[in-house]
Amino acid sequence: MKNRITPTQTERVMRENDFIVSKTDPTGRITYGNRIFIEFSGYTEEELLGTQHNIIRHPDMPRAVFKLLWDTLKQEQEICAYVKNMARDGSYYWVFANVTPSYDTQGNVIGYYSVRRKPREEALKVVDGLYRQMRELELNNDPNTGLERSTRLLTDLLTQHKTTYEQFILSL
Ligand SMILES: Cc1cc2nc3c(=O)[nH]c(=O)nc-3n(C[C@H](O)[C@H](O)[C@H](O)COP(=O)(O)O)c2cc1C
């Protein structure tokens, strides 16, 4: 279904008090979405549950960001990220997301949990510019080289500013 959607230039903007919440199983399949998640995605709850979370992936998003997300989650750490999502009608909406592992009482990872809020305008200017450069490297190279170069662009930026990914994201 997601492959047939053409992205449009229409933006949906989160409201100040909105929280978009979703949960997935360990493989990234959606197991829960709150009312606002369903509203922004444009899908019905029925369509979302059991579906891979990439159903709302926007083609402008760098693969390197999702690699970092999954690498971090696999190390059982939380991650914050700016994400451009695509709704069912092709419109887009930016979120500031926090994603964490969920555990059972034995301490096993049973899935992941994400809460998103409205990103700051000033932060989006920086992130949009960075993501565009990263995505260009990914699209203009073979998949492996593209991912490597896109990741390197991000890590070089962090080195230049003598900062970590987490500090950088939270400083925006
Ligand atoms: C809890 C959780 C929330 C996620 N939220 C989003 C999201 O809002 N948008 C998105 O594009 N990917 C999200 N992802 C990542 C997707 O699972 C997926 O990796 C990404 O869309 C890239 O698609 P691909 O892995 O098929 O390339 C989330 C993953 C998890 C575990």
Structure tokens at 171: 């400083």
> Which region, left, alpha or beta, applies to residue 127 given φ > 0 means left and ψ of -120 to 50 means alpha?
alpha
Please indicate whether residue 99, judged by its CB atom, sits closer than 6 Å to ligand 1: yes
Decide: pTM greater than 0.85: yes
Would you place residue 2 in the very low, low, confident or very high pLDDT band (cuts 50, 70, 90)? very low
| Chain mean pLDDT for the chain | 96
State residue 3's pLDDT score: 58
- Per the structure, the count of domains in the chain is 1
User: Which residues are registered as beta bridge partners of 93?
Assistant: 85
Q: Find the 164 Cα to ligand 1 centroid distance in Å.
A: 22
pLDDT for 102-146, tens place per residue?
999 999 999 999 999 999 999 999 999 999 999 999 999 999 999
Residue recorded with tokens 């990234």: 28
Q: Measure the CA–CA gap between 57 and 87, rounded to whole angstroms.
A: 9
Cα distances (angstroms) measured from residue 104 to each of 4, 111, 136, 157: 37, 9, 40, 37
Q: Measure the CA–CA gap between 65 and 32, rounded to whole angstroms.
A: 23
State residue 140's pLDDT score: 97
**Coil, helix or strand for 23?**
strand
* Ligand 1: residue whose CA is nearest its atom 21: 54
Of ligand 1's listed atoms, the one at least distance from the Cα of 112 is 1
CATH value at residue 16: 3.30.450.20
State residue 4's pLDDT score: 83
* Ligand 1: residue whose CA is nearest its atom 18: 54
Does pLDDT of 24 surpass 90? yes
Expressed as residue numbers, the domain containing 65 is 2-171
